[in-house]
Structure 1
Amino acid sequence: MDKQRINYLLQKYLDRSINDTEKQELFNLYRKIGSQYAEYPDDRESVSERILLRLNEEIKHEEKRGGFLKPWKMVAAAVILVTASIYLVNRHWSSPKEIVQKNPQKQIILPGANVATLTLGNGKKIFLNSANQGKIAVQGNTVITKNASGQISYKVVNDNPSTNDQQIVYNTITTPKGGQFKITLLDGSNVWLNAASSLTYPSTFKGNERHVELRGEAYFEISKNKHLPFTVAAENINIKVLGTHFNVMAYENEPSVNTTLLEGSVSLTSKNITTTMVPGQQAIGAKNRNEITLHFVNVEDAVAWKNGYFSFRKENIQTVMNKIARWYNVDIEYRGNISDKIMGGTVSRAENIAELLNYLELTGIAKFQIEGRRIIVICK
């Protein structure tokens, strides 16, 4: 069995980027496997294909951090890995339509994935998770490519002076609820977009600055260029840097724009207020009044989403549920008096949503019910 091929097709199927030919190939492989082994009892049907994929992601994340899984996590990982592997190989494959018919009342809510749409300056839309690897668009002397990891990047392929006077074209990359994506801009800067976010930027940087506009949340690693500062417009805040690492959270349904600096130096401006940040600080720009406040924070909390985790340190139930709603693509309904008590803790973004809500219930602040794609928060 070509395990690499099955994993490749399965990932495309889960990301909804698989084409009809690949889907048929995947179904045929699973039917072939299913005919060779006994089928699991019905009560194992609740096991998700994503368990194995998400577990691998978490293990890779731990290795990247240079740490080790705790002993109990290693045991749990081994059990889940074996269970998921046997389940995926041994069960008889059902098409999505067949699964829905077996469990018409149950809707599986999966964590987010690498999903985004690129809108070019001419209005053309490219669905990046389904786009083929390689060149996906050309704008003047700039080529947009998608690599094997599913990320896109910009590169000048013909630095011809005759093309340097071309009109600047603005592109927008947009992630839906339940999506995230990484992009490398023409100057080599890397940007990670969180769920329900968008970044508008020129295909090539000209003039006296590198300017982009953000809605939602993004983590920036900016290439240094002292002659060409990088600027970000996010709601009522303008951010100016020369080369640095920082995170910006600027969702419309949040009360403030939060900028967290990990490395370098950042200058923020809001109307007639300008302030400079140092690493380890977070700037809170209130939307309903003209002020920016600075305080030192644990910067890992701000970029936890990029590293595959939720961090709920000193956050209230509404802030927590906003994060969950964006990543799992669900609606939130509150019942009762909403508590202003704060939470704490870190949870994997690969977690099953039911397990995540069970964890939150342990705080005693609220109980949760799942109805379709709606999470009902019953406040105490």
Structure 2
Amino acid sequence: MKSDQQRLKEILSSPHRSTEDEQWLQSYLESTDAAELREQAADIFRENLQQGNRLPQITSMRMWNKIQQRVDTIETHYYRKYWWLAAAVLVLAVITYPLLQKQQPRPLAVATSAIKPGGSKAVLTLANGSRVTLTDTGNQVIKAGNMAIQQKQGELQYESQDNETNAFNELTTPPGGVFQVSFPDGSHVWLNAASSLKYPLKFKDNRTVILNGQAYFEIAPDARQPFIVKAGEMEVQVLGTSFDIMAYKDEEVVNTTLVEGAVKVLQGNTSALLHPGLQSKLDPATGRMEVQAVNLENVLAWRNGRFELENTDLPAFLRQLARWYNIEIAIEAPAKEVALKKFGGQIGRDMDLQDVLKILDLYGVKCKLENRKLTVLSIHS
């Protein structure tokens, strides 16, 4: 008698399924342990690669449709248990999608060369105005006055504070770039794409930095010198903690999310004291601030190399793609349909853009890519 794993393997590897197979698969997806199914899918994937085969497109599409139907009828907490299932099927679809190119003309990829994901790259502007280009392979010592700055691949390390009080450096990441910086006090900052951080070479009285964009901070405790992050008119005061700030100019709100410790968020007469797991959402235009509980894993997905799609609307995801792949976004689809389109799960930020677009296509988002301009053509359910 066949085991459940053997039967699942046969169903996933077959281009055709009987009604009985479909019913069994539906039941199996509802009852199986996630780890078991993940291992099974991985085995099938590896075997097909070793044999030089591609899983049939109809297989991956049918499984995706089954999971999508199931997701539509279950509660959020149940869906989160199986978010990776959708991601796994999408990966399979990406692998098999070239099989359809001979059958159906598609406007998805007009560009001839793949648009690669971002990586560790930035520009360091020194106090004297000179600029140093930083890459993920760089290992160098940069002189800034009496200070020696060590670059080790994707990180800058400041090891001395023997400098003028008014001397500032600015670390800027381009679209598609991330970088890290550590200060002599032991604090550490991860800078997301299209962001900048301006900071003094010597902290005095307080430790104040200026952020544009998004960064994750791990701040060394020092009761004598509070750490202050300024983002536009907003100010975050810290003694020693871990937190994330998203303050892009093309986003409607500024999000401050606390991981550990405590921070105080201020703008004008508005303030909020955050505890771990809380996020303040500040509207810079009105000064209105709301505080809510959030999933920290979702907020920090970017730092861990993933796009968070859980309950993310399409415009927000497109802004992430624009920053990470350094592309221009144009929308021809109806604005209402674009605004209402939401996703679920997570996908890696290490994928080529063309593969991400295939995932969007499975979600019913039809796009056209010409050079570095991505146009959203239509939205389908």
TM more than 0.5: yes
Change (3 A) 1:105 1:217: closer
- Give runs of aligned pairs for residues 202-351 of structure 1, distance below 5 A: 202-206=200-204, 208-338=205-335, 339=337, 340-341=339-340, 342-351=342-351
Matched, 1:171 2:176: no
Indicate the structure whose relative CO is greater, using CA pairs within 8 Å and at least 6 residues apart: 2
Any stretches of 5+ residues in structure 1 without a counterpart? 1-68, 84-103
Computed over aligned residues only, the root mean square deviation of the Cα atoms, in angstroms, reads: 2.4
Asked if the contact 1:331/1:375 (under 8 Å) is kept, the reply is yes
Equivalent residues in 2 for 1:147-186 (5 A)? 147=152, 149-156=153-160, 166-186=164-184
What is the deviation of 1:169? 0.6
Q: Which residue of 2 is the match for residue 368 of structure 1?
A: 367
Structure 1 CA distance, aligned partners of 2:39 and 2:216?
A: 28
- 8 Å CA contact 1:230–1:240 kept in 2: the answer is yes
In the other structure, the counterpart of 1:357 is 357
Q: Amino acid of the residue matched to residue 375 of structure 1?
A: L
Aligned partner of residue 223 in structure 2, secondary structure = coil
Counterpart AA for 1:374: K
Give the 3-state SS of the residue equivalent to 1:128 in structure 2: strand
What is the alpha-carbon distance in structure 2 between the residues aligned to residue 202 and residue 80 of structure 1?
52
Return the alpha-carbon distance in structure 2 between the equivalents of residues 128 and 78 of structure 1.
40
**Match of 1:143?**
148
Between the aligned partners of 2:136 and 2:324, the Cα distance in structure 1 is 20
Distance in 2 (alpha carbons) for counterparts of 1:82 and 1:248: 47
- Count, aligned residues: 283
Distance 1:189 1:75, change over 3 A: farther
Quickly say closer, same or farther: Cα 1:259–1:80, change in 2 above 3 A. Answer: farther
Q: Distance in 2 between matches of 1:143 and 1:79?
A: 52
- Aligned-residue offset at 1:213: 0.4
Task: Report if the CA contact (8 A) 1:133-1:150 is conserved.
Answer: no
* Native 8 Å contact 1:118 1:126 kept in 2: yes
Identity fraction in percent = 34
Residues 188 and 218, structure 2, Cα contact 8 Å, conserved in 1 = yes
CA contact (8 A) 1:139 1:203 kept: no
The amino acid of 2:221's aligned partner reads: K
How far 1:186 moved relative to its partner?
A: 2.3
What residue number does 1:378 align with? Answer: 377
SS in structure 2 opposite 1:187? Answer: coil
Residue 337 of structure 1: how far off its partner (Å): 1.1
Give unpaired runs (5+ residues) of structure 2.
Answer: 1-37, 53-109
Per-residue Cα deviation, 1:155-211 (whole angstroms, up to 9, x for no partner): 12xx8xxx56x34211000000011111112211111111100000011211x2100
1:274–1:378 distance in 2 versus 1, CA, 3 Å: same
Question: Are the counterparts in 1 of residues 123 and 172 from structure 2 also a CA contact under 8 Å?
Answer: yes
Instruction: Name the counterpart of 1:7.
Output: none
Distance 1:356 1:71 in 2: 24
Summarize the Cα distance change of 1:244–1:105 in structure 2 as closer, same or farther, 3 Å threshold.
closer
Aligned mates of 2:195, 2:46 — CA distance in 1: 32
> Normalization by structure 1: what TM-score?
0.70
Q: 1:370 deviation in Å?
A: 1.1
Check 1:224–1:167 CA distance in 2 against 1; reply closer, same or farther (3 A cut). Answer: closer
1:201 aligns with 2:199: yes
Q: Offset at 1:362?
A: 2.7
Query: Are the aligned partners of 1:260 and 1:281 in contact in 2 as well (CA < 8 Å)?
Result: yes
Match of 1:72 among 38, 41, 52: 41
Structure 1 pair 155–279 and aligned structure 2 pair: CA distance change class (3 A) = same
Contact 2:312–2:344, Cα closer than 8 Å, also in 1: yes
Shift of 1:379: 3.3
Question: Is 1:119–2:125 an aligned residue pair?
Answer: yes
Q: Distance in 2 between matches of 1:302 and 1:256?
A: 14
In 2: Cα distance, 1:352 partner to 1:75 partner: 23
The two structures have a TM-score, normalised by structure 2, of 0.69
Following superposition, the deviation at residue 343 of structure 1 comes to: 2.1
1:270–1:291 CA contact under 8 A, matched in 2: no
Q: C-alpha offsets along residues 240-272 of structure 1, whole Å, 9 cap, x if unaligned?
A: 111111111100100010011111101000111
